[in-house]
Chain A
Amino acid sequence: MADQGSSHSEGAATAAPSPTQGTGLDLVGLTKVFPGGTVAVDDVNLHVDHGEYVVLLGPSGCGKTTTLRMIGGHEYPTEGDIVLDGQSLVDLPPHKRPTTTVFQHFALFPHKTTLANVEFGLKMHGVSKDERRRLAFEALEMVGLAPLADRKPRALSGGQQQRVALARVLVTKPKALLLDEPLGDLDRLLQLRMRVELRNLQRQLGLMFIHVTHNQEEALSMADRIVVMNEARIQQVADPLTIATKPATELVARFMGDNNIIRGKVAEREGDRMVVEDEQRVRVSVVAPESSHGVGDEAMVAVRAAAVEVGANGAAPDGLNSAECEIVFVEFLGDLVKLHLLTGGERMLAKVSAEQYPTLRGREGERIQISWKEQDVQLLDT
């Protein structure tokens, strides 16, 4: 990619000399307070490397979009700094930043053809007509839309519009590509395909992508690293596997879904290992070397629904890491079965493979034994 970057760099003012050079993007104590006092982003610190695919994930109103808009220059931070390859971007207007944004609803120019849409950025940067036509066609070629160059956006399907939006920003060779809910307007089936396509494209280009979404599955499937945000703050920054299996806080555990959260008191502590017991006398053991919990302290642990096994065979003799539950509902999801359970007053979830569906079907109201392994238990920060 490096040689390609330099061969076209004479054109666009935002051209990156090479996507792999430089120190990357740093958000330093980034804070945004809207007039009226709403804190949208609170002291966000984050480093993103060139060539990295980072997803900002969180519920609506968590500050992820505002963070992205500050990077792109569409919001001005109240405090903090945004540094790209050693250069502070804070005081630069959007059109002078080496970043470009794919907006939520594509934001194509309705009166321009596909080609003119893609050429726009180059035109603004003073690239000659022939050169920008050539570069635009290359970009359209890359997203497979060259045959539709003369169409206006309204004559394109949602997926095609999405790809025009991508070609339009990629042609300006940004150092960082910012994507605001890029798949939000697409049908589910198309979303699944576009995930692969987008990720392929990013790998091919070796560009820094920062992608905002509220869709957990999308984040897990696409990201190198996920930044989970809530109420203006970063909750956890980790790779998808860690986010999915080792949520750091209650919020991440709840937001990622399908986690059983058990809240109780520490009943025993032996070195790194401790046992948490809740009000229903469910006893969970967890290895947490860094925790400072003592016996009697409040503690919260999470067990993924997928780690829960059904049947008495897995239960430890001392009743640890197991529970007796009532089956509330057996939900068949095609490739797996979701069991909605009740232990005492607490709801629990178990996800088992679809092969077990015949033996579980219609057993609502019956009691069942569940168990899980100690290594699947995660202590949560409260």
Chain B
Amino acid sequence: MSSSSTPERAGDEATRVALDEVEEVEAILEQKPPKVEQALGQSDSRGRGGGWTTAALAAPGFLWLGFYLLAPLVVIILVSFWTRTDSGFDKVWTTSNYGDLFHDSTYWHNMLTTFETSLIAVAACLLFGFPVAYFLALKVEKLQYQIALFIVALAPFWTSFLTRAIAWTFPLMGREGALNQLLIKLHIVSHPVDAFGFSTLSVRLAMVQLYVLFMITPLFFSLAQVDRSALEAARDLGGNWWRTFREVILPQTMPGIVIGSIFIFVLTMGDYGTVQTVGGGNITSVGTLIYSKITAIQYPQGAASAVLLVIVLTIGVWVITRFANLREEL
């Protein structure tokens, strides 16, 4: 829109003058302080004055976290450096618990398969959860319907975790279970498939169903924040459905994807209930390994395994958060 002839340049000039006036008006209207530093300085001094109030408000949260998260973690770390005895442990410092673990191929093999299960669960929950959240947040027009349908999606989670986990054993995946019956009725298989029951596959399938809501919920809230008129604008400017999704919806949904992925990654990495129940003792994970060490009164080894798991989890969560600037976008 560069101008080549003089009359247009004059027009440009007129617009420019009008623009300058607009800027002036805006400055008056918004009463912006001349410098950002000044504004920050003010809020800073205000913060110092209310230091005790802030501390008092934060105290309950700190106490809760300290008692239920930090203290147990400290105890576990301490125990992991103590020496194992037949009845528990002696308070004698040692690093041999970790030394043993580093050479324990079963442990690392389990860590790897658990990690694989976790990745599959995160990907599958995203794949199955996204359409549900998308439909709820962007296709359902009325807020009442959105809430009603969200509660419907929530309904299976009113049943206890154990009941749902057990449903994935004999009733669904067993020899006489629903899946085998269905495949036989459809003449896809002639004999019941044994591999469905108490297998890695059944554990992974169950995990998706058990945890998918932890993905749907943050995704739903992220998608609900997407400005629908911005989607119309994207369409208007020439974006088809896919380009609009890629360019406008997905980037704005990243915080939801990241939070959902953290939930599912952390829950599935540490999971032993699902593995124990749905796997029926045939399948192991880091969680079941720790559990069996604790039941065998090998507290220091169990503690060391748990500490390593926490380290792996922390690294994993850190990597996931790299995908979105949560601090800015939430």
Contact = CB atoms under 8 A, between A and B. Distances in A.
B252 A95 contact: no
A157 B30 contact: yes
Contacts of A143: 19
Interface in B26-71: 26, 28-30
A200 B14 contact: yes
B229 A107 contact: yes
Interface string B231-264: 0111111111001000110011000000000000
A127 B292 CA distance: 61
Contacts of A196: 18
A169 interface: yes
A93 B12 CA distance: 34
A11 B240 CA distance: 18
B237 A144 contact: no
A73 B22 CA distance: 32
Interface residues on A, range: 35 or more
A160 B4 CA distance: 26
A141 to B, nearest CB: 8
B232 A103 contact: yes
B11 interface: yes
Contacts of B227: 105, 107, 110
Interface in A191-237: 193-194, 196-197, 200-201, 203-205
Contacts of B148: none
B238 A193 contact: no
Contacts of B239: 95, 120, 124
A124 B238 contact: yes
Nearest to A169: B237
Contacts of B22: 159, 190, 193-194, 197
B204 to A, nearest CB: 33
Contacts of A111: 251-252, 329
A94 B15 contact: no
Interface string B189-202: 00000000000000
Contact of B233 (A101, A125, A160, A194): A101
Contacts of B230: 107-110
Contact of A107 (B3, B12, B26, B232): B232
A170 B1 CA distance: 10
A124 B237 CA distance: 7
Contacts, number: 127
Contacts of A3: 4
Q: Main SS of chain B's interface residues?
A: helix
Interface string A134-175: 000011011110000000000001111000000011101000
B233 A197 contact: no
Contact of B238 (A104, A141, A172, A194): A172
Contacts of B178: none
Interface residues on B, range: 35 or more
Given A95-B237, A120-B234, A124-B239, A200 B26 contact: no
Contact of B25 (A14, A100, A189): A189
A210 B3 CA distance: 25
B6 interface: no
A13 interface: yes
Contacts of A141: 1
B235 A93 contact: yes
B15 A142 contact: yes
Nearest to A108: B230
B45 to A, nearest CB: 25
A109 B236 contact: no
A107 B22 CA distance: 21
A74 B231 CA distance: 11
Contacts of B329: 111
Interface string A99-136: 11101110111111000000011011100000000000
A29 B243 CA distance: 34
B8 A120 contact: no
A203 B238 CA distance: 25
A72 interface: yes
Contacts of A124: 234, 237-240, 243, 247
B115 to A, nearest CB: 31
A109 B18 contact: no
A290 interface: no
Interface in A236-253: none
A100 B237 contact: yes
A94 B232 contact: yes
A335 interface: no
A13 B239 CA distance: 12
A109 B19 contact: no
A204 B233 CA distance: 24
A103 B229 contact: yes
A205 B12 CA distance: 11
B2 interface: yes
B21 interface: yes
A121 B248 CA distance: 12
A82 to B, nearest CB: 15
B109 interface: no
A121 B238 contact: yes
B16 interface: yes
A263 to B, nearest CB: 43
Given A110-B252, A196-B18, A197-B19, A168 B26 contact: no
A203 B12 CA distance: 11
B29 A189 contact: yes
A4 interface: yes
B238 A125 contact: yes
B242 to A, nearest CB: 11
A124 B248 CA distance: 12
A187 interface: yes
A179 to B, nearest CB: 12
10 contacts: A4-B1, A95-B236, A101-B233, A123-B247, A142-B1, A144-B15, A172-B237, A189-B25, A204-B8, A204-B12
Top 3 A-B residue pairs of the complex, sorted by shortest distance between their CB atoms: A124-B238, A121-B237, A144-B19
Interface of A: 3-4, 8, 12-14, 72-74, 93-95, 99-101, 103-105, 107-112, 120-121, 123-125, 138-139, 141-144, 157-160, 168-170, 172, 187, 189-190, 193-194, 196-197, 200-201, 203-205
Given A95-B235, A124-B239, A142-B15, 14 more contacts: A3-B4, A4-B3, A13-B238, A14-B238, A95-B236, A99-B236, A100-B236, A104-B229, A120-B237, A124-B240, A144-B20, A159-B22, A197-B18, A197-B19
